[in-house]
Amino acid sequence: MFGMFESNHCHKTLFCRRCLPVYLPLNTIFMYRTHTCGELRKTNIGETVTLSGWVQGVRDKGSLLWIDLRDRYGITQITIETENAAKEIVKTARELGREYVISVKGSVIERYSKSDKISTGDIEIVPSDIKILNAAIVPPFTIEDDTDGGDEIRMKYRYLDIRREVVRNNLKLRHSLSRETRKYLDAHQFIEIETPVLIKSTPEGARDFVVPSRMNQGQFYALPQSPQTFKQLLMVSGIDRYYQIVKCFRDEDLRADRQPEFTQIDCEMSFVDQDDILIMFEGLVKHLFKEIKGIEIDPLPRMSYDDAMRLYGNDKPDIRFGMQFADLTAITQNKGFNVFDQAEVVLAIVAPGANHFTRKQLDELTDWIKRPQIGAKGMIYCRCNDDGTFKSSADKFFNENELKRWGEITGAKAGDLILVLSGELKNTRKQMSELRIEMGRQLGLRDPKVFAPLWVTDFPLLELDEDTNRWHAMHHPFTSPKPEDIAMMKTNPGAIRANAYDMVINGIEVGGGSIRIHHKNLQQKMFKLLNFTDEEAKAQFGFLMNAFEYGAPPHGGLAFGFDRLCSLFGGSDSIRDFIAFPKNNMGRDVMIDAPSLISLEQKKELGL
Ligand code: ASP
């Protein structure tokens, strides 16, 4: 499926005369194979070839015996007429089991019953020699797209899982995405620079993974949650445009589909404002969609955080479909309906063409929204009938004219269904956002083949931790406030907007970043606002603030979640499918059995 995305190499064959000289001398001869198992066509009929690979299966019909030989590139059928073939060949063929590694020399002939299921379906090989290169015990699950292996067993034997084409295609897609990312960024003068993996632990953000230092007993390195400070220092160094496709580590409680180690496309630029960054990385995403999926993406809409929250109740809206929130608060008060009268807000969405929903479906939807995970108290609906009348579950309190106003304000048309939730602003938005997404799903509006990226901008700089009553950086402490909002640092910190942005695709945050603070004084003020004492700020980030004194250029950047981007491009919800050796929900690698205990000796050596 992803063959066309492989690379500039023609990929017709491993041994293409046109491509090979770029990499290897022309007379290079590979011992084990002349062709791959996905390569031979009618034009090769009559040639003598050697193929190597794994035995996908053997069918022995007595007088005829077939071997399906598989490698990364495909499957080729080997056919043996047992009565005519050399005894040795028949004997070897009958010894073969699934997943044996063999090498077959033979001639290419036209296949009698052709198959359009495989690329080599027009030909087959009549062997003159079969060599067993290695035997194999029976694999714990079938090596087929539709395998009988459950998740746990496939992870334990991931190296066998990767033999399956579906998994391999995911890894190929990942490769294509990183190759195209590098191509685009390289073309725009970005330099890939590696930053250290053993760094210093800082309390901001998520929990660090720490590594004990043997040579500095009692002290620990931390694994980077991101290369944030290093990339900023590279800007001070004058690198100007940096990127890195880089592993990051966060020791968080694992929610479904989070990995303790994950990959970012991490980028930083100097002498830029927000617009420059949005344009540059909009370009990257367009490039990826065009090269990998053959899709032209429209210019990305930009939406402020406030609008996203007001219209979608969510800072990562799925804009493949409409159903924006309408505010019915003003027109629903004092009609005797307590539920609305006591609510801070009354919000509505219009489910297009959903008038036909049965009472049972609506009851189910109400139960769904009342589940503790979502926590709505109830749901009011209003049918917009084909004859222009309205029928609501709150009819007792609202007459036809009033319901008509609901229709006007929400923009509902005949045949639509209006759904209404009410309560405290923050919760109601959240619940309505869930309801909108669920209705989008039920109405088939979330087409996985449609991609609707956008930028969300103007995030608040800070959020209040209600337990400690302290301000936290919403993005990170290096994010610059909007210059016009800096004055509010003393008076109204909660209202300060950040020069920060996220890229959202189909309701998933795929990337985010900010323009950074590049003046020492402002950075100090920011740390103060975040409750760092001067000493703490100096101990933890003194190196950065010192660097700012040596001529730090204005700079900013962002990072994309690479695993997430891969799963989105691959049309899957699971990032694990796109990681060669992922960890399970407990953060364990069940194949190598990590994490594991270490010996007392090791502990002693480390001073633990
Ligand atoms: N370092 C940030 C993160 O990992 C991204 C950025 O601001 O560039 O989320």
Q: DSSP per residue over 41-92, as a string?
A: -GGGTT-EEEEEEEEEEEEE-SSEEEEEEEETTEEEEEEEETTTS-HHHHHH
Domain co-membership, 400 together with 335 = yes
Asked if 434 and 446 count as a contact pair (C-beta separation under 8 A), the reply is no
What's the 605 CA to ligand 1 centre distance in angstroms?
36
Atom of ligand 1 nearest to the CA of 557: 8
CA dist 361 and 234 (Å) reads: 57
DSSP-derived 3-state class of residue 510: strand
Domain co-membership, 171 together with 286 = yes
Atom of ligand 1 nearest to the CA of 516: 7
Q: Which of 26-30, 195-199, 231-235, 529-533 has the lowest mean pLDDT?
A: 26-30
Task: Specify if 229 maps to a domain.
Answer: yes
Q: How many CA atoms lie within 13 A of 215 on its CB side?
A: 1
Domain co-membership, 338 together with 437 = yes
Domain co-membership, 564 together with 491 = no
**Confidence tier at 23 by pLDDT (50, 70, 90):** low
The pLDDT tens digits for 250-298 are 998 877 778 999 999 999 999 999 999 999 999 999 999 999 999 999 9
Mean pLDDT of 82-86: 96
Nearest CA to ligand 1 atom 7: 513
Q: What is the pTM of this model?
A: 0.93
| 265, β-bridge pairs | 245, 560
Atom of ligand 1 nearest to the CA of 500: 7
CA dihedral 399→400→404→406, nearest 10 degrees, is: 30
Could you check whether the bond before residue 595 is cis, i.e. omega within 30 degrees of 0?
A: yes
What's the 308 CA to ligand 1 centre distance in angstroms?
21
Flag whether pLDDT at 200 surpasses 50. yes
Determine which helix (DSSP H) or strand (DSSP E) holds 261, and give its type and residue range: strand 261-270
Task: Specify if 153 maps to a domain.
Answer: no
Nearest CA to ligand 1 atom 8: 558
**Confidence tier at 3 by pLDDT (50, 70, 90):** very low
Nearest CA to ligand 1 atom 4: 226
Domain co-membership, 325 together with 433 = yes
Q: Where do the DSSP E strands lie in 72-142?
A: 74-81, 101-110, 123-134
Domain co-membership, 245 together with 291 = yes
**Confidence tier at 22 by pLDDT (50, 70, 90):** low
Domain co-membership, 460 together with 416 = no
Using alpha carbons, select from 422, 345, 357, 348 the residue that is nearest to residue 383: 357
What's the 227 CA to ligand 1 centre distance in angstroms?
8
Asked if 399 and 357 count as a contact pair (C-beta separation under 8 A), the reply is no
Atom of ligand 1 nearest to the CA of 231: 8
Ligand 1 pocket test, candidate residues 199, 476, 555, most atoms within 8 A of CB: 476
Domain co-membership, 498 together with 578 = no
How far CA 330 is from CA of 221, 347, 396, 561, in Å, comes to 56, 10, 18, 41
How far CA 450 is from CA of 293, 298, 326, 567, in Å, comes to 11, 12, 25, 14
Q: DSSP per residue over 197-217, as a string?
A: SSB---SSSSPPPEEE-SSST
Domain boundary, last residue among 403, 422, 442: 442
Domain span including residue 361: 321-442
The pLDDT tens digits for 590-599 are 999 999 999 9
Ligand 1 pocket test, candidate residues 558, 562, 564, 565, most atoms within 8 A of CB: 558
How far CA 595 is from CA of 256, 583, 598, in Å, comes to 19, 10, 9
Domain co-membership, 336 together with 290 = no
What's the 99 CA to ligand 1 centre distance in angstroms?
44
Nearest CA to ligand 1 atom 1: 228
Domain co-membership, 382 together with 433 = yes
**Confidence tier at 210 by pLDDT (50, 70, 90):** very high
The pLDDT tens digits for 541-565 are 999 999 999 999 999 999 999 999 9
CA dist 145 and 67 (Å) reads: 19
Atom of ligand 1 nearest to the CA of 478: 7
pLDDT at 24: 64
How far CA 578 is from CA of 175, 260, 410, in Å, comes to 10, 15, 41
Taking residue 152's Cβ as centre, other Cβ atoms within 10 Å add up to 9
Domain co-membership, 565 together with 548 = no
- The token pair at 198 is 């053993």
The pLDDT tens digits for 59-68 are 999 999 999 9
The pLDDT tens digits for 103-114 are 999 999 999 899
Domain boundary, last residue among 513, 533, 555: 555
Atom of ligand 1 nearest to the CA of 514: 7
Q: Residue 83: which CATH number? A: 2.40.50.140
Task: Specify if 151 maps to a domain.
Answer: no
**Confidence tier at 21 by pLDDT (50, 70, 90):** low
What's the 476 CA to ligand 1 centre distance in angstroms?
8
What's the 234 CA to ligand 1 centre distance in angstroms?
15
Q: Where do the DSSP E strands lie in 443-588?
A: 453-457, 462-465, 470-473, 500-505, 508-515, 555-561
What's the 265 CA to ligand 1 centre distance in angstroms?
10
pLDDT at 2: 36
List, chain by chain if needed, residues with CB within 6 Å of any ligand 1 atom.
Answer: 226, 228, 512-514, 557-559
What's the 236 CA to ligand 1 centre distance in angstroms?
17
Task: Specify if 40 maps to a domain.
Answer: yes
Ligand 1 pocket test, candidate residues 277, 475, 509, most atoms within 8 A of CB: 475
Domain boundary, last residue among 389, 415, 442: 442
What's the 206 CA to ligand 1 centre distance in angstroms?
13
The pLDDT tens digits for 488-522 are 999 999 999 999 999 999 999 999 999 999 999 99
Instruction: Quote the number of domains for the chain.
Output: 4
What's the 281 CA to ligand 1 centre distance in angstroms?
14
Q: What angle (nearest 5°) sits at the alpha carbon of residue 225, between those of residues 224 and 231?
A: 70
Task: Specify if 598 maps to a domain.
Answer: yes
What's the 170 CA to ligand 1 centre distance in angstroms?
25
What's the 558 CA to ligand 1 centre distance in angstroms?
5
Task: Specify if 25 maps to a domain.
Answer: no
Atom of ligand 1 nearest to the CA of 228: 1
Ligand 1 pocket test, candidate residues 228, 284, 478, 516, most atoms within 8 A of CB: 228
Domain co-membership, 280 together with 363 = no
Share of the chain above pLDDT 90, in %: 91
Task: Specify if 220 maps to a domain.
Answer: yes
What's the 298 CA to ligand 1 centre distance in angstroms?
25
